[in-house]
A and B are shown apart, each in its own frame.
Chain A
């Protein structure tokens, strides 16, 4: 069972990859780690923070384990944008011209996510923060 560690600002948490439900996406994300980027709040999608990496853009990668409304406590991926999304409240996959698209749920935060999600919720108010995603060593 593969696990990743994520850091939002100064807060860290562990998430479990959903290899069974989103195998292609989990492999894609795993192979791209470690990731460091600046995390912002979504401007169209609601109560979620996100990072975008050009090297993750893959319009051929299918949507797996799909959602349109993001699930709090999970991490989602939108391959057409190379976008990793961390929702902390009601949030939907949207953009400038779309009111509803699909995303892949590829990981679930283990343990208590409240502190991490509270840090994510502060981003819109306090400004963008450093984000890091890395493989968790057993």
Chain B
């Protein structure tokens, strides 16, 4: 089980799980540096996030490099800035987007996020990070779906609270039974092409829970005027097309369990070609 840390900002606290599966060196370096306490400043460039001096010396190249900082993500940039996201955030600076190492992610951080959000009105705070016992699994009840690729399955939880319209449309479409193939543009993600009747409605409302980075274990929705791509990320993936990066909706995430078989089959589509995929509701 991944090690956990406790993140506290002016008394508001939450547990976070280290991303040891994707950033082992950086996670170990952070663990070794704990406990630490730093001044915390709201970011001027990266959106809903706060920034502090890095707890560890940044490496030249980020591990588990991401641009999008999902809510609760703690990230470290090679230029020496650490970021803690509480909402819609993207690692940026004066020159534009900057890849960061995904170090950890907060579990059930409502109180912590609320305190971070207040920084926008109230100014600087202080952050303390320390070692903790194992983090509990999230307890929020969510609609669930099962993804199966060539016989390997895993369960995902819909992010209804962050992408309600998209999740409703996806739920309506289930079951989906077709084929999936390795994405040409997006890295380690398998793509399922669909043609829902209401995809234009989805576009009209704007991209919910938008991100460029598709973390491993996410199910992402990329609507176009004519069709809708469902991305199943199994590694380092970023939504791109022929004309560059494209924002997608992070609609669902793995809901625990072992997805190694599913990921292996998704990855296999790169060399072996299209594979059968089914996405269905979990009762």
| Known A46-B94, A97-B247; contact A125-B124, beta-carbon cutoff 8 A | yes
| A124 contacts the other chain (CB 8 A) | yes
A40: Cβ under 8 A from any B Cβ = yes
In which size bucket is the chain A interface? 20 to 34
Chain A residues whose CB sits within 8 angstroms of the CB of B120 once the complex forms:
40, 43, 128
Partner of A97, one of B122, B123, B124, B210: B210
Report Cα–Cα, A125/B40, bound state, in Å: 9
Nearest to B48 among chain A residues (CB) is A43
Instruction: Determine whether the beta carbon of A99 is less than 8 Å from that of B45.
Output: no
Q: Are A44 and B45 in contact (CB under 8 A)?
A: yes
**B residues within 8 A CB of A47?**
44
- What is the number of residues of chain B that contact chain A, defined by CB distance less than 8 Å? 21
Interface string of A43-57 (1 = CB under 8 A from B): 111110000000000
A99-B47 contact in complex given A127-B122, A128-B120, C-beta closer than 8 Å: no
Which B residues are within 8 Å of any A CB, using their own CB? Answer: 41-48, 88, 90, 92, 94, 96-97, 120-124, 210, 247
CB within 8 A of B88: which of A42, A90, A96, A127?
Answer: A96
Which interface residue of B43, B48, B247 has the most chain A CB atoms within 10 A?
B43
Q: Which residues of A contact B123 (CB under 8 A)?
A: 123-127
Beyond the given pairs A41-B44, A97-B247, A128-B121, 19 more chain A to chain B contacts, judged by CB atoms under 8 angstroms and listed by A's residue number, are: A40-B121, A43-B42, A43-B43, A43-B46, A44-B92, A45-B45, A46-B45, A46-B94, A96-B90, A96-B210, A97-B210, A99-B92, A99-B96, A124-B41, A124-B44, A124-B123, A125-B124, A127-B121, A127-B122
Residue numbers in A under 8 Å from B97 (CB-CB): 99
Distance A47 CA – B93 CA, assembled complex (angstroms): 11
Name the A residues within 8 Å of B90 (CB-CB). Answer: 96
State the Cβ distance, A52 to closest chain B Cβ, in Å: 13
Distance in Å: Cβ of B1 to nearest Cβ of chain A = 35
Distance in angstroms from A49 CB to nearest chain B CB is 10
